[in-house]
Amino acid sequence: MKTAAERAGDVTDVEVVFTPSGRRATVPHGTVILDAARQVGVDLDSICAGRGICGRCQIEIGSVPGIDERPSRLSAVAETETAYRGRKPLVEGRRLACAARAHDDVVIEIPADSQVHRQVIRKRPEVDNLPIDPVVRLLYVEVEPATLDGVPGDAERLAAALAAQWGSKDLHLAPSVLRDLQPALRASGHAVTLAVRDGVSIVAVWPGFRDAVYGVAFDIGSTTVAAHLCNLMTGDVLASAGRMNPQIRFGEDLMSRVSYVMMNPEDGAARLTDAVRSAANELVGVLAAEAEVDRHEIVEVVAVGNPIMHHLFLGIDPTPLGSAPFALATASSIEVGAAEVGLNVHPAARLYTLPLIAGHVGADTTAAILSETPYRSEDVQLLVDVGTNAEIVLGNRKRLVAASSPTGPAFEGAQISAGQRAAPGAIERVRIDPDGLDVRFSVIGCEPWSDEPEFEERIGKVGVTGICGSGIIEAVAQLMLAGVVSTNGVIVDSGRSDRIVADGRTHSFILFQDDDVDIRITQNDVRAIQLAKAALYAGIRLLMDHFGVDQVDQIRLAGAFGAHIDPAHAVALGMIPDCDVDRISAAGNAAGTGAMIALLSSEARREIEEIAIGVEKIETATEPRFQEHFVDAMAIPHRTAEYPHLTKVMSLPPRTAAASGQRRRRAAT
């Protein structure tokens, strides 16, 4: 490499080294750094085509052996930079790549926030490290005004400007863009910003310069619909909102909604589709208002959901999913106009749905896989999303297997005597003294526990109204640890406390009682939890059989339920297999996060489409061993499984004779 002295007087070429990519460009002396970056394909952002307007191409001078970081290796600071007042401030020590020129061999560092394909770091764990690889890009273009003897069409002059300023040719104009182009040009002195999708289609046009365009990610659940508004250029999550799925009035669970469609063949599916689409549209309005964004600036939408929600949102008949063989209309990703599903956003906006895996394992599970990336791990990871059906994924970078297990609604508080959804007033944490059976608990909306002095004062604002899923799990697990519930799931009256009361031919345990409320765990409650946790464990165990492992290295619990459950109690109850409790953690709204990743990254879409094809589907309903695992898992925590990790953090009572000998006596008879 020549030094500056060796090239003195007749310098023609200089070398520009870009970090962190390591790419090098040999360019003529005085070449604009942005042009050098484009020459070798360096990931450097720009919207304004080098006019010093957007401020996205900020760079820093670096060094490597043989090239120091003297500022004189670049041209002097230009007027474009001193006059720059854009939305993205020019940080001290940085230059604009569109203004700085290479005067000597130079190392150019591309900061993370100046890269197109960057990682956006967030404090909220559920939206951490979202990759930015926009499906939609913004291009600022200055178009020659029309003249009597020039090119007559605005579209043709726009095409010429794109070719000259961006090197872009043959971009397709959506019909809505053609309608908006002339007024946009006239309103802005013939300078416009274009939204270009996938590098081939112009989907929107606005007068003048703009550096933001928006998208919405939907997680359409059977109980709730959640939505997130994102800036597609920066990855910022500007607003999030959710609401109850209005389809609930047609049926609490998925199968009841399919039954409704079957019993109302003329308009049942249309009613369910209209209901969920209206909820989605309402959320778009809420998000746009909160972020002070025009909903017609939303040009990209991603939606995920279980197979039945997916089909209904798209207007596809869900009835084949109501019975074997649970055939999907398609397992592939789908892309349609957002207007086709009734969304009031930009007329040219597109809707993308992630691929599905099986008739009971939907795009929400695919999104969770994209969020958690077990396919990149050496460890064997278990991903569980608990709901009325539990979606389970097991595997690592070599192989993934998935299944759905029919847990029922008990974990959500349904079919429980004092059960309710997780809302203020619900008991969410329970501790029971194994000696005197004294109870202490915490309630959603009241920070102090029930045995703390402030509880009486604070609880008056919310009251104690019931018990939610996490509270039920901890209560039954604590009763088992205290010896009140046997390993067979029977509430035993040992005479230790008046909290254990007769309840017909069985017994109940009183958690909380006052003049207005009587919250107790009944024998039927314990049975409901046993059935739910046995179905979940059996599904997991079945996947472990197919994968060929006896233990897992890491467990991630997805969804709102997973965020509130205590890992040790989930193992103690027998919901999930034994694992180091420090390696059992909440995954947050993994489906929603996966939807946002797909919204912000075209590369992520391609990646998950390839991964989804390779996921092996296990149908629990047709697997003979599922029932065998289910019977063993009815015991609390399990009839035969060992718990070496769990016993490091809590003591398990001995198994009852009935639980340990059940299989043997059955065989003898």
Contact 427, 466 (CB under 8 A): yes
Highest mean pLDDT among 56-65, 409-418, 421-430, 628-637: 628-637
Top pLDDT among 243 and 669 is at: 243
479-496, pLDDT tens digit by residue? 999 999 999 999 998 888
Confidence of residue 657 (pLDDT cuts 50, 70, 90): low
| Residue 6 scores a pLDDT above 70 | no
Give me the residue spans of the domains in the chain: 13-116, 131-207, 214-353, 375-407+530-658, 410-528
Looking only at the bridges linking them, the beta strands covering 381-385 and 554-558 are parallel
| CA atoms within a 13 Å half-sphere pointing along the CA-CB vector of 473 | 27
Cα separation, 624 vs 364, in Å, equals: 27
Q: Please state the φ and ψ torsions of residue 634, each to the nearest 5 degrees.
A: -65, -30
Mean pLDDT, rounded, for 214-239:
92
512-563, pLDDT tens digit by residue? 998 888 999 999 999 999 999 999 999 999 999 999 999 999 999 987 677 7
279-299, pLDDT tens digit by residue? 999 999 999 999 999 999 999
Nearest CA to 411 out of 573, 647, 550, 542 is that of 573
Top pLDDT among 611 and 46 is at: 611
For residues 105-136, one letter each, b for 16 or more C-beta atoms within 10 angstroms of the residue's C-beta and e for the rest, the string is: bbbbbbeeebbbebebeeeeebbeebebbbbb
Class of residue 156 by CB neighbours under 10 A (exposed 0-12, middle 13-18, buried 19+): exposed
Predicted structure pTM score: 0.83
Query: What integer pLDDT is reported at residue 389 of this predicted model?
Result: 78
421: phi > 0 → left, psi -120 to 50 → alpha, else beta; which? beta
Query: What integer pLDDT is reported at residue 124 of this predicted model?
Result: 39
Shared fold status for 13-116 and 214-353? no
Highest mean pLDDT among 8-12, 387-391, 409-413, 618-622: 618-622
Confidence of residue 658 (pLDDT cuts 50, 70, 90): low
Cα separation, 613 vs 653, in Å, equals: 44
Q: What residue type is assigned to position 434 of the chain?
A: P
Which stretch of 16-20, 338-342, 355-359, 541-545 has the lowest confidence by average pLDDT?
A: 16-20
Compute the C-alpha angle 397/400/401, nearest 5°.
165
Average pLDDT taken over every residue of the chain: 88
| Residue 663 scores a pLDDT above 50 | no
Token pair for residue 62? Answer: 């670096």
Query: What integer pLDDT is reported at residue 64 of this predicted model?
Result: 83
Cα separation, 78 vs 29, in Å, equals: 17
What is 214-353's CATH topology?
Nucleotidyltransferase; domain 5 (3.30.420)
Cα separation, 426 vs 632, in Å, equals: 31
| Residue 79 scores a pLDDT above 60 | yes
Token pair for residue 553? Answer: 């290295």
Q: What residue type is assigned to position 422 of the chain?
A: A
Helix runs in 509-623, H state only: 523-547, 559-564, 567-573, 590-600, 602-614
Q: What homologous superfamily does CATH list for 13-116? A: Beta-grasp domain (3.10.20.30)
Query: What integer pLDDT is reported at residue 669 of this predicted model?
Result: 31
Mean pLDDT, rounded, for 149-163:
88
C-alpha distance from residue 178 to each of 158, 343, 344 (Å)? 11, 21, 20
Residues in CB range of 594: below 8 A, 6 or more apart: 304, 354, 366, 367, 368, 369, 370, 371, 608
What whole-number percentage of the chain has pLDDT above 70? 94
24-51, pLDDT tens digit by residue? 899 999 999 999 998 888 888 888 878 8
Contact 374, 383 (CB under 8 A): yes
What whole-number percentage of the chain has pLDDT above 90? 63
Q: Please state the φ and ψ torsions of residue 425, each to the nearest 5 degrees.
A: 105, -15
Query: What integer pLDDT is reported at residue 130 of this predicted model?
Result: 63
Query: What integer pLDDT is reported at residue 667 of this predicted model?
Result: 36
Cα separation, 604 vs 228, in Å, equals: 18
Cα separation, 565 vs 571, in Å, equals: 11
Helices and strands of the chain, counted as H and E runs: 17, 29
Confidence of residue 565 (pLDDT cuts 50, 70, 90): confident
| Residue 1 scores a pLDDT above 50 | no
Contact 60, 94 (CB under 8 A): yes
Residues in CB range of 520: below 8 A, 6 or more apart: 417, 418, 501, 508, 509, 510, 511, 513
Contact 286, 295 (CB under 8 A): no
Confidence of residue 362 (pLDDT cuts 50, 70, 90): very high
Query: What integer pLDDT is reported at residue 108 of this predicted model?
Result: 94
Residues in CB range of 287: below 8 A, 6 or more apart: 216, 227, 228, 229, 238, 239, 240, 241, 293
Cα separation, 212 vs 234, in Å, equals: 8
- Residue range 131-207 forms a domain whose CATH class is alpha beta
Looking only at the bridges linking them, the beta strands covering 518-521 and 506-513 are antiparallel
Cα separation, 189 vs 208, in Å, equals: 8
Name 601's bridge partners: 133
Q: Is 113 helix (H, G, I), strand (E, B) or coil?
A: helix
Cα separation, 56 vs 137, in Å, equals: 13
DSSP 265-305: TTTHHHHHHHHHHHHHHHHHHHHHHHHT--GGGEEEEEEEE
What spatial distance separates the first Cα and last Cα of the chain, rounded to whole Å? 88
